[in-house]
Structure 1
Amino acid sequence: MAMPDLYQTRPARDTDIPFLAPIAEATLFPGDMLPDMMAPGLNGNTEDIWRVVLQGDTPVGFAFVQPEAMTDRTWNLRAIATRPDLHGAGAGTALIQSVEAALGTARLLVIDTTQTPDQDRARRFYAARGYDHVATIPGFFGPDEDKVTFTKTLA
């Protein structure tokens, strides 16, 4: 007998924001930024893609990707986060797989992070899912904060 999937994914909805804002707050950026960030994608006013990962019926993480202007089917993963208590439990993997599938004919997915110790886990996560570390730009985000770029060829 097959085990049911622990996580499901789907496109984000505005009703997810109350669940996602605390996750953003705990992991990436102030949660009150989320409604304005999500609005263009939720309203269909942009090509932005927002995906959520659910545990049961509850959103427990989100991802946000945008197409890169003036490129051939290159997308940038701008944000991915899951509830901190679920780190290492498969929710992030389900989410990034969902994003990759949602991108359809995308050619390349780019992910930027930093070299700082608080991003060690994220860098390991991307590498373990087939993303290649392709560049480091010293001092990009600030004097002591480098930009670390990963890519994965999708199509």
Structure 2
Amino acid sequence: MLEQTGLFPVEALDDMLASFFASEGQEQWLTARHDGAPVGFAFFRPEAHTDGTWNVLAIAVLPEHHSGGIGSRLMQHVEDILRSDGQRVLLVETSGTSKYKATRAFYRAKHYTEVARIPEYWEAGDDKVIFHKHLR
């Protein structure tokens, strides 16, 4: 699924999920299904050394299911889980390239505020864009 979305480097997956599969942290994984098959996912975890701040490390929906509301429902479910647990803040980090224009528009539509842009963070010409939302 990660390869099909084209949004994340597959080689980063092992590092990203290591503590999740080792049950070492508080990371959470949600899978969206359509007719029993996985079509999307969200992976989120608490930010180290913070009180109630979480980060969505990855959220993706297979291209053939875009615009069907799956991403919106996944994001809402993440927020609901964290709110019910009394968490305060949710961050999302993404790329500043044109490839991720729709991704940034998605977060804005979900009432996330762009709070930071770190120039050339990922690589030359690719800024890190950080979005923020209060959960309370």
If the TM-score is normalised by the length of the shorter chain, which range does it land in?
0.7 to 0.9
Equivalent residue, structure 1, for 2:131: 150
Q: 1:39 to 1:69 in 2, by over 3 A?
A: closer
For 1:125 and 1:82, the matched residues in 2 are separated by: 12
Unpaired runs of 5+ in structure 1? 1-22
Q: Indicate whether 1:84 and 2:35 are aligned.
A: no
Q: TM-score, normalised by structure 2?
A: 0.87
Equivalent residue, structure 2, for 1:13: none
For 1:138 and 1:38, the matched residues in 2 are separated by: 26
CA RMSD of aligned residues (A): 1.8
Q: 1:33 to 1:138 in 2, by over 3 A?
A: closer
Q: Which residues in structure 2 correspond to 1:64-103 (within 5 Å)?
A: 64-103=43-82
Q: TM-score, normalised by structure 1?
A: 0.77
Between Structure 1 and Structure 2, how many residues are aligned?
133
> What displacement does 1:54 show?
1.3
For 2:128 and 2:56, the matched residues in 1 are separated by: 14
> What displacement does 1:37 show?
4.2
For 1:151 and 1:110, the matched residues in 2 are separated by: 5
Q: Indicate whether 1:57 and 2:44 are aligned.
A: no
Q: 1:106 to 1:87 in 2, by over 3 A?
A: same
Equivalent residue, structure 2, for 1:123: 104
Q: Deviations over 1:63-114 (max 9, x none)?
A: 1111101111100110000111111110101111111122221100011111
Equivalent residue, structure 2, for 1:25: 3
The sequence identity of aligned pairs, in percent, is 41
Q: Secondary structure at the match of 1:88?
A: coil
